[in-house]
Amino acid sequence: MIKAVIFDMYETLVTLYGGLRYTGKQIAGEIGIRESDFRTIWDPSDEDRTLGRMTFEEVIEKILKRFGRYSEELFRTVVMKRKQSRDECFQRLHPGILPMLEGLKASGFRIGLITNCYFEERDSIRAGILFPFFDALCMSCEMGSKKPDAEIFIRCMDELSVLPQECLYVGDGGAGELEAARKLGMHTLQAMWYLNMGPMRESGRKDGFKQAELPADVLREAEKYSGDGIELK
């Protein structure tokens, strides 16, 4: 019996593609240094930023000072544009996302979120239109744990007061999330609606996992298996 639906965030509920791009290449250009130089500090910081050991601001300040580019104005510009790029994705949701979440709530399902994210993304999530729907939020930068580690999945299930077999996990399939959820005994569903929109995607269609082509498919699957406990294929 499914009692809760747990979602991934990026490329599942929102997409970072097709909107304001402000990642390594764009930030390096803003600073006025080569991308390869920028990445000597940026790329190694990813784990620390994901697990909440460093902030975006700390890394940018370090880069600016390392390459002799620091000024308060430039620092503030980079931080502002990064925040804007993270806020912006919540303004262009797939049209089926809100009706799906509203339908899940109306049907009595608990809704959780498990996402690998940085502090600046955490702030955008908490300020975004989707935040009120979540009964549990497990964000890597707050938890100090990230997908596919079992710990972050278990924490989310504990907050929702559900067992693995009572959960449907929905994600695009990046970071080994679907495999991790299945290993724990959760039902799984690969979200395809953003993946189908273009070629620049981390994950393709995964063999051995059931796919949801549209957000409405998630609600149908959750309702279909909410009373008899039949495992999703």
Torsion-angle region of 88 (φ positive above 0: left; ψ -120 to 50: alpha; else: beta): alpha
Is pTM, for the whole model, over 0.85? yes
Q: Give the model's pLDDT for residue 19.
A: 84
Task: Tell me which residue has tokens 């709530």.
Answer: 105
Task: Tell me which residue has tokens 């997908």.
Answer: 147
Q: What share of the chain is helix, strand, coil (3-state, %, to 5)?
A: 50, 10, 35
> Among residues 228, 9, 214, 217, which one has the least CA distance to residue 111?
9
DSSP secondary structure code for residue 230 in this structure: P
CA 85 to CA 29: how far, in whole Å? 16
Q: Give the model's pLDDT for residue 202.
A: 52
Q: Give the model's pLDDT for residue 134.
A: 98
Q: Give the model's pLDDT for residue 18.
A: 84
Q: Are strands 187-191 and 211-212 parallel, antiparallel or unpaired?
A: parallel
Mean pLDDT per 10-residue interval, the chain, length 233 residues: 96 91 95 97 98 98 98 98 96 97 97 98 97 98 98 98 98 95 97 80 80 96 70 41
